[in-house]
Structure 1
Amino acid sequence: MINPLSISALALAAAQGQPAPAPAADAATSEAATVAGAGALATTTTAAAQDTAASEPTQSRGDVIIVTARRRTEAAQAVPLAISVIRGDSIEATGNFNVVKLQQLAPTLQAYTTNPRNTSINIRGLGVPYGLTSDGFEQGVGIYVDDVYNSRVAAATFDFLDVAQVEVLRGPQGTLYGKNTTAGAINITTNQPTFDFEAGAELTVGNLNLKQGKAFVSGPITDKVAARFAVAATSRRGTIYNVTTDRWINEQDNLGLRGQLLFKPTDDLSITLAGDYSRQDPECCGTVFVRVGTTQRALNRQYDALVAAVNAANPGRNYAVPSRNPYDRLADLDSPLNAGNKIGGLSARVNWDLGPGRLTSITAWRFWDWKPENDRDFTGLSIVKASNNPSQQDQYSQEFRYSYEGQKIDFVAGLFGFKQRIDTQGLEQQGSDASRWSLTGAQASNPAILNNLTANNTQFLKSTSAALFGQLSWKVTDALTIQPGARINYDKKTGFYERVVTNGAGQVISCSPAPAAGSVLAAQCGIYQPQRTEPSVSDWNFSYDLNVNYKVARDVLAYATYAKSFKTVGINQNGLPLNADNTPNLDASTVDPESVRHFEVGLKTQFLDRRATFNVAAFRTEIKDFQATVNGGQFGTVRGYLANAEKVRTQGFEADFKIRANDRFTAYVNGAYTDAKYVKFTSAPCPPELSGGTFVAANGSQQPGPAGVPGSLSPRQCDISGQQLPGVSKWAASFGAEANIPANILAKQGQAYVGVDGSYRSDWNSNASPSIYTEVQGYALVNFRAGFRSGGFDLFGWVRNALDKDYIETLQVAPGNTGLIAGTPGDPRTYGLTLKSRF
């Protein structure tokens, strides 16, 4: 029988930077050596086990995985919720170097990015609405690093730095975590300062001119103060060749630093001060031509005809995309590209043991600076020659949490406060080909009408949040536990948005009252509309959950959960749609909170002396007033704003299996089925095949034309009820295995090993309103590695996407309803060599 107190002591010592106490006899057998990376989900190890990795196999039990998902240290198999635990060495071995890449290990995690700001992290299909990011809504998946909430998903695109473990929690987590999260949480724990000296370094080189270096050092300063410092740097050539600039784009250029200082004046009190800074400065993020899909726009106003018209108006130009095969990885983007990105902050974490309980305080400040430059027309034509929306964020958070463990009662209670400000200065400017592309008749022949037409946007968001939360565990019997939880939450959001439009001569234009039809001003107002809004909203919410779990047998835990949760109110920060009189529709300034009902049942089991683990869960989540992204198809409408879909539902099941047959072989396979759909969304934006024509009469006297037929009448909005949510694959899986044998190389006794891991995702759609043109085909990726390790030394070669599979990461609909679809192809086959050393 494993002693939970021994488990807690080991984990707590590691968290506080103390040497681990000797395990009790009944726990010792659970600490057998784990093959690095082989059990990518839910594995653990100790330094002592690593040092004896070359020993002969023993009949030891399987691993005990320590987590802090419920704000206390406990074995993962004892936690009555669906959780994936991914160790730091597994992340490194499989090449999943940031949160976006973790979806290759955790099938129910969906992560998509067109640039660091426009990054979506979803669990079971929920989290943030798929499409252009808005600052005015909350994330449904919380990202925590050492207990500090990271409000911007941009943090997910940075390399992991000195990470010990990542826990992916599925389902609402508002009664245990500071910021309410309706879909789940990603809990990242970094390695902490130690009172024993240790250091390590890692160097990786590979094709695409990959160079990556990592290093850390940790140890005592005095008998009560310890420090740790880590650094990581990555550079890699881009994967798309831009023929216009004669260079590779979408490169990697990352630098990360983290420092921590642990002060431990007594055995009961520890104070950790931490600071981190990360920088990205790549030429990114460009797309390639993927396809053209016919819209309802007049045939001579669609992509191929417009290109022909531009060429006819410019004899000798003969513009054509460099390739219509996206896997040639050729682009011809003519606007500057940049994804400059800086993120960092400071935190103070205090843990004070008070007998049976612990008081924790987490104080943090974080910043995020974003300096993008984009080519928004996705072509080598000068249609939109600048699209830049730099922003700066500051956030402050304070959490107080008290956790108590007793014979019959455990509980966690917390207070959380959060304050954030985001300032954005946007600029979008039309180019010399814009008139030919966007206007008709004689105006199309006059480039001066739209050339240098500029929209300057100024906006800010002030967000304040406060919460009281807690969860109680009542151990009714040794087998039965009942866990109720509750949360009271207050949110206030205040925003400001102003768009000032100037013509090519630098003169400010006004579009109210509506200019005369056919005038130059009307043409310009059809591209950019001046606007000013100052939305403000506040809201109180109460949510709760109830978990009942029963220990059927020593290694079999069954649980059922019901949660009533919410995502708080949002505001539209990117401008509003227009009324018929060209005034902003102020009714769209705010969006209602989401109302979430979540049901889940699960079974967690271990057998074969805990060498095998099999967990299964089934879930159903229903959301009323789902906060969806609405994208405008024309240049003249707002790029994207939030609206409420009446109802969304996601349901499915997950299964995780891992076996550690012996010290020489481990394997895992994980699978998920997710059926996520709009139950009711009657006023959604229309997909491109139902857009671009003349709108049907507002009085309902006309019927829309057939999809994809040029010149047809277009619906004003579409009913997409019953269609699948974007970004979600119905089927997803990951797998891996590793085997080793004793070996002696260069007088070093150790292990020679080989490993494989891979993932699969079925088809999914890449548009907010699913389109026949944005269906992304499913794909499977397979990776291999082989190497030798001995004690703290590890040398291995790796091949990722070993079969050189062509696949698309995301598709985008170009503005203007011309039918152009652009996209980002996934990484080709990459290979390299990694050397790691610890001392």
Structure 2
Amino acid sequence: MNTISKFSLLSGIALGAVSVSAQAQEAPQAAAPQAAEAPQVSGTDIIVTAQRRAEKVTEVPISITVANAAQLERQQVNTVNDLARIAPSLEIQQAPGQNTGGGGSVRGIGTQTFSPGAVASVGVVVDQVSQGNANISDLFDIARVEVLKGPQGTLFGLTTSAGVINITTNRPEFGAFSARIRTELSDAGTAGSKYGNQVVQGLVNIPLAANAALRVSGVANLRQGVNRNATTGELNDTDRYGVRGRLLWEPSDRVTVNLIGDYSQTRYENGGDFFTFVKTGGPGTFLGGAGFDPVGITDRLASCGVTPGEGNRNYCTDESYVGKSKNYGGSVQVDYEADPFTLTSITALRKSSESGYGAASNVFRGDPLELQVHNDPVNRDLSLFTQEFRVSSAAGQPIEYTAGAFYSNQKQTRDPETVRVTLIPAPNVVIPIVTTTTPQLTIRDESLAFFGQVTGHVSDQFRLIGGVRYTTDRLSLDSFDTAGAVSDRTVLDVAKWSWRLGAQYDITGSTMAYATVSRGFKGGQIAVPTAASPYVVLPEIPTSYEAGVKSTLFGGWVADLSVFYMKIDNFQAQSCTVDANAIISCDQTNINGVKTRGAELNFFGKVFDGLSLNTGFIYSKATYPKNFLGTDGTDIGGSQLAYAPRYKFTLSGQYDMPLGENFGGFLAVDTVWKSRIRYEANSVADTTFRPHWLVGGRIGVKTADDRYTVAVFARNLFNVHEPSLMQSDFPYNGAENIGAIYGPQSYRNIGISLDAKF
């Protein structure tokens, strides 16, 4: 289906929904619209579950950035990658396959790796279920997102050594039928949009009984671009669909049952968002002197309509390649209130599969190049089973506690992956240079942990915190030969303690101060180099110190100030270079002495009626240890880590104003500023990106009862080309050639949004 057809279809669906909802409003049986479940109760108190219990955010001794449903919608946070705009401490790289676990980095610390079986430094938790490496992508029908900073291993486990993205979906509502549909529609070339994106989200809440309700929500996210094939003139299509069902049942006043199931699928063309050339050279030698290109990459790409430079998103190939992925799972949570404590059981199973996995069958996607590198598409599968048992005391007791046990079993299988390098000096002349194949792999990661955390109320104002977790983890990797028999097995067994100590003091009724020290743990990796035996990358052990102050201003606006210092033993890093055969080769290693330290200030919530404002600033000095040598052999010790801006500022706000008795208007802004970012562990200036602003916003009108909303939006209004990833020496030997991956954040997008509730 072409862009215009998709745009017309989705526009028709959206406008039809508005019409239907208008009729539903006039019908006598229609209920009032259901408000999104925001993290606010008792007027202005913001409630979070950062410590596995419902608490006021101002009472939790952790630095937290909170975004409720209203903020997520006004900032058009439709994917996990978009969450980088809500918190100055959070960065999420969008390069395919690079961001293990999907959680990105917090305060400069994260895991970017292609290593099989690696776990994330920043865990993603949805409705209290760890997502492991079964990465979710789309966010829809979300009540709130909490970004927890620093090691959270005591309560959240081994994939949270740098932080947690804690996501809560909207719960079903008893006694009232409600429904909603919201859209964001843009088209490439219309009103200055550089790519097209049509997002349709819908939900229906169905009461089943006085004590039971079902909520079903879904999303279609269709994108044209950002990459463009200059050979055909067409933008790459990336189409994603998702659905979630959530059943809430309270068979008695003591028992609550939550049953949740979800399914999503993705289809992407020609590698989706993948490498394009942003800098190239002329004639030269490549392949270690085995060949000489008399024309050069610049002129060869020009012959098919590609001009390298900042923001180049064009490639040229006659090949057609489609990749597909699926992600699905379910969980059942049972809570039993057995005074004076609550018992909780959460059982979950997640699976994901990728068919035809591979960035692109032709890595360089440049048909006129003499040198070609092809990845043969393969299949990958992952399954994750988790079981958690937990006991929690009632709130407000002299001693509050949470204790439990957690088991996880994650299994990944990967088909053999073959990379073929060929030389094409003339039409229909193909000279094989080298072929490398990784074996079929099965990776198992089995973990069992016991944990507990206690808060003791020494007085009405003073509290002490102590927590501990003991984790045993076995990571194994089996390699198979061509006959399907195990040819090699590597096993890593680890048992580690995580802990947390701290104190907090209520300075006034609206201001609290705290100080904590914590030790985290992230499991090891088994690296699989292309031409060598697998080797072990040791677990990552961070020790973190944090102090902070939280205060409620103007009756509801929350201020969160923190200072932090964290040192990581065996920091798990990855460095990628282009080898003598023009193959991108990535090595995983441990680095001792990586540090991050700095300060962060966040404000979030409602300032006063009509104005909601979320803003924050972070200074995070995340550095390599002294005398650390980069991939280019230079000393980059003491310099900023890759993918970690030292400074970052975020601002999101909305001002509402009445427009007569029946309508209201609103103006929203969404702004991010970042300092310079480096994309490689070296001194190559061409693979850094300058300090920059990303500016967006919305302006629109809505009915006084909030049933209908129409708005015009803009993202990256000034079309700033921030990359997701950059790679030097790409593809021939020589620093002249630079490749970059650009994503939706890299280009301007302008469109219209429609929202209807009934």
Which TM-score bucket, shorter chain as reference?
Answer: 0.7 to 0.9
Structure 2 residue identity aligned to 1:835: L
**Following TM superposition, by how much is the alpha carbon of 1:181 offset from its aligned partner in structure 2, in angstroms?**
1.3
After the TM superposition, which residues 117-128 of structure 1 pair with which residues of structure 2 at under 5 Å, given as runs?
Answer: 118=99, 121-128=104-111
Structure 1 residue identity aligned to 2:495: W
Aligned to 1:667: 613
1:821 aligns with 2:738: yes
- Mark the CA change 1:359 to 1:680 in structure 2 (over 3 Å): closer, same or farther: farther
State the distance in 2 between where 1:220 and 1:491 align.
43
State the distance in 2 between where 1:721 and 1:107 align.
25
Which stretch of the first structure deviates more once superposed, 631-640 or 820-829? Answer: 631-640
Aligned to 1:620: 565
Aligned to 1:286: 274
Which stretch of the first structure deviates more once superposed, 491-500 or 792-801? Answer: 491-500
**Following TM superposition, by how much is the alpha carbon of 1:761 offset from its aligned partner in structure 2, in angstroms?**
1.0
State the distance in 2 between where 1:364 and 1:545 align.
27
1:344 aligns with 2:323: no
**Following TM superposition, by how much is the alpha carbon of 1:831 offset from its aligned partner in structure 2, in angstroms?**
1.4
1:379 aligns with 2:334: no
Which structure 2 segments of 5+ residues have no match?
1-34, 189-195
After the TM superposition, which residues 630-709 of structure 1 pair with which residues of structure 2 at under 5 Å, given as runs?
Answer: 630-634=575-579, 639-658=585-604, 660-680=606-626, 682=628, 686-687=631-632, 690=633
**Alpha carbons 1:285, 1:338 under 8 Å: kept:** no
Aligned to 1:763: 676
**Following TM superposition, by how much is the alpha carbon of 1:45 offset from its aligned partner in structure 2, in angstroms?**
5.3
**Following TM superposition, by how much is the alpha carbon of 1:464 offset from its aligned partner in structure 2, in angstroms?**
0.3
State the distance in 2 between where 1:614 and 1:274 align.
34
1:69 aligns with 2:50: yes
- Mark the CA change 1:593 to 1:576 in structure 2 (over 3 Å): closer, same or farther: farther
Aligned to 2:152: 173
After the TM superposition, which residues 222-241 of structure 1 pair with which residues of structure 2 at under 5 Å, given as runs?
Answer: 222-241=209-228
State the distance in 1 between where 2:280 and 2:261 align.
48
**Alpha carbons 1:624, 1:648 under 8 Å: kept:** yes
1:545 aligns with 2:460: no
Q: Give the alignment partner of residue 78 of structure 2, picking from 93, 97, 102.
A: 97
**Following TM superposition, by how much is the alpha carbon of 1:643 offset from its aligned partner in structure 2, in angstroms?**
1.4
State the distance in 1 between where 2:289 and 2:700 align.
52
1:364 aligns with 2:352: no
**Following TM superposition, by how much is the alpha carbon of 1:392 offset from its aligned partner in structure 2, in angstroms?**
0.4
**Alpha carbons 1:215, 1:230 under 8 Å: kept:** yes
1:598 aligns with 2:544: yes
State the distance in 1 between where 2:539 and 2:273 align.
32
Aligned to 2:458: 476
**Alpha carbons 2:437, 2:530 under 8 Å: kept:** no
**Alpha carbons 2:45, 2:556 under 8 Å: kept:** no
**Following TM superposition, by how much is the alpha carbon of 1:549 offset from its aligned partner in structure 2, in angstroms?**
0.6
**Following TM superposition, by how much is the alpha carbon of 1:824 offset from its aligned partner in structure 2, in angstroms?**
2.6
**Following TM superposition, by how much is the alpha carbon of 1:153 offset from its aligned partner in structure 2, in angstroms?**
6.3
1:410 aligns with 2:365: no
- Mark the CA change 1:340 to 1:363 in structure 2 (over 3 Å): closer, same or farther: same
Q: Deviations over 1:60-114 (max 9, x none)?
A: x972111111111111111111001111232122112112111111111011022
**Alpha carbons 1:335, 1:385 under 8 Å: kept:** no
**Following TM superposition, by how much is the alpha carbon of 1:309 offset from its aligned partner in structure 2, in angstroms?**
3.3
- Mark the CA change 1:80 to 1:785 in structure 2 (over 3 Å): closer, same or farther: same
Aligned to 2:246: 260
1:725 aligns with 2:641: yes
**Alpha carbons 1:400, 1:414 under 8 Å: kept:** yes
**Alpha carbons 2:575, 2:680 under 8 Å: kept:** no
Helix, strand or coil at the partner of 2:588? strand
After the TM superposition, which residues 26-105 of structure 1 pair with which residues of structure 2 at under 5 Å, given as runs?
Answer: 44=39, 63-105=44-86
Q: Deviations over 1:6-54 (max 9, x none)?
A: xxxxxxxxxxxxxxxxxxxxxxxxxxxxxx99xxxx97557xxxxxxxx
Q: Deviations over 1:609-640 (max 9, x none)?
A: x2443221010110111111143431668832
**Following TM superposition, by how much is the alpha carbon of 1:316 offset from its aligned partner in structure 2, in angstroms?**
11
Structure 2 residue identity aligned to 1:71: R
Q: Deviations over 1:702-728 (max 9, x none)?
A: xxxxxxxxxxxxxxxx65432321000
What is the Cα-based RMSD across aligned positions, in Å? 3.2
Report the count of equivalent residues. Answer: 695
Aligned to 2:261: 275
- Mark the CA change 1:99 to 1:303 in structure 2 (over 3 Å): closer, same or farther: farther
**Alpha carbons 1:676, 1:728 under 8 Å: kept:** yes
After the TM superposition, which residues 305-320 of structure 1 pair with which residues of structure 2 at under 5 Å, given as runs?
Answer: 308-309=293-294
State the distance in 2 between where 1:114 and 1:127 align.
14
State the distance in 1 between where 2:154 and 2:589 align.
27
Helix, strand or coil at the partner of 2:493? strand
**Alpha carbons 1:388, 1:426 under 8 Å: kept:** no
- Mark the CA change 1:547 to 1:333 in structure 2 (over 3 Å): closer, same or farther: farther
Q: Deviations over 1:300-338 (max 9, x none)?
A: 3389997733779xx999857710224353222455444
**Alpha carbons 1:62, 1:660 under 8 Å: kept:** no
**Following TM superposition, by how much is the alpha carbon of 1:794 offset from its aligned partner in structure 2, in angstroms?**
2.1
Helix, strand or coil at the partner of 1:176? helix
State the distance in 2 between where 1:202 and 1:393 align.
32
Structure 2 residue identity aligned to 1:269: V
- Mark the CA change 1:669 to 1:239 in structure 2 (over 3 Å): closer, same or farther: same
Structure 2 residue identity aligned to 1:256: G
State the distance in 2 between where 1:83 and 1:398 align.
26
1:838 aligns with 2:753: no
Structure 1 residue identity aligned to 2:451: F
Structure 2 residue identity aligned to 1:112: Q
**Alpha carbons 1:728, 1:765 under 8 Å: kept:** yes
1:798 aligns with 2:753: no
Aligned to 1:448: 431
- Mark the CA change 1:680 to 1:532 in structure 2 (over 3 Å): closer, same or farther: farther
- Mark the CA change 1:679 to 1:431 in structure 2 (over 3 Å): closer, same or farther: closer
**Alpha carbons 1:648, 1:680 under 8 Å: kept:** no
Helix, strand or coil at the partner of 2:415? strand
State the distance in 2 between where 1:207 and 1:127 align.
34
Per the normalisation by structure 1, the TM-score is 0.77
Q: Give the alignment partner of residue 460 of structure 1, picking from 420, 442, 445.
A: 442
Structure 1 residue identity aligned to 2:701: F
- Mark the CA change 1:567 to 1:103 in structure 2 (over 3 Å): closer, same or farther: same
**Following TM superposition, by how much is the alpha carbon of 1:299 offset from its aligned partner in structure 2, in angstroms?**
5.7
Aligned to 1:13: none
**Following TM superposition, by how much is the alpha carbon of 1:256 offset from its aligned partner in structure 2, in angstroms?**
0.4
Q: Deviations over 1:642-669 (max 9, x none)?
A: 2111221011110013474431333332
**Following TM superposition, by how much is the alpha carbon of 1:741 offset from its aligned partner in structure 2, in angstroms?**
1.8
Structure 2 residue identity aligned to 1:204: E
- Mark the CA change 1:360 to 1:317 in structure 2 (over 3 Å): closer, same or farther: closer
Which stretch of the first structure deviates more once superposed, 119-128 or 751-760? Answer: 119-128
1:395 aligns with 2:384: yes
Helix, strand or coil at the partner of 2:155? coil
Structure 1 residue identity aligned to 2:457: K
What percentage of aligned pairs have identical amino acids?
Answer: 26
**Following TM superposition, by how much is the alpha carbon of 1:772 offset from its aligned partner in structure 2, in angstroms?**
2.5
Helix, strand or coil at the partner of 1:134? coil
Structure 2 residue identity aligned to 1:199: A
**Following TM superposition, by how much is the alpha carbon of 1:482 offset from its aligned partner in structure 2, in angstroms?**
0.4
The structure carrying a bigger strand percent of its residues is: 2
**Following TM superposition, by how much is the alpha carbon of 1:678 offset from its aligned partner in structure 2, in angstroms?**
1.1
Aligned to 2:30: none
Structure 2 residue identity aligned to 1:203: T
Helix, strand or coil at the partner of 1:534? strand
State the distance in 1 between where 2:540 and 2:471 align.
14
Structure 2 residue identity aligned to 1:255: Y
**Following TM superposition, by how much is the alpha carbon of 1:286 offset from its aligned partner in structure 2, in angstroms?**
2.6
After the TM superposition, which residues 475-514 of structure 1 pair with which residues of structure 2 at under 5 Å, given as runs?
Answer: 475-497=457-479
Structure 2 residue identity aligned to 1:616: L
**Alpha carbons 1:43, 1:85 under 8 Å: kept:** no
Which structure 1 segments of 5+ residues have no match?
1-35, 47-60, 438-444, 502-530, 579-583, 691-717
Structure 2 residue identity aligned to 1:786: I
Which stretch of the first structure deviates more once superposed, 341-350 or 490-499? Answer: 490-499
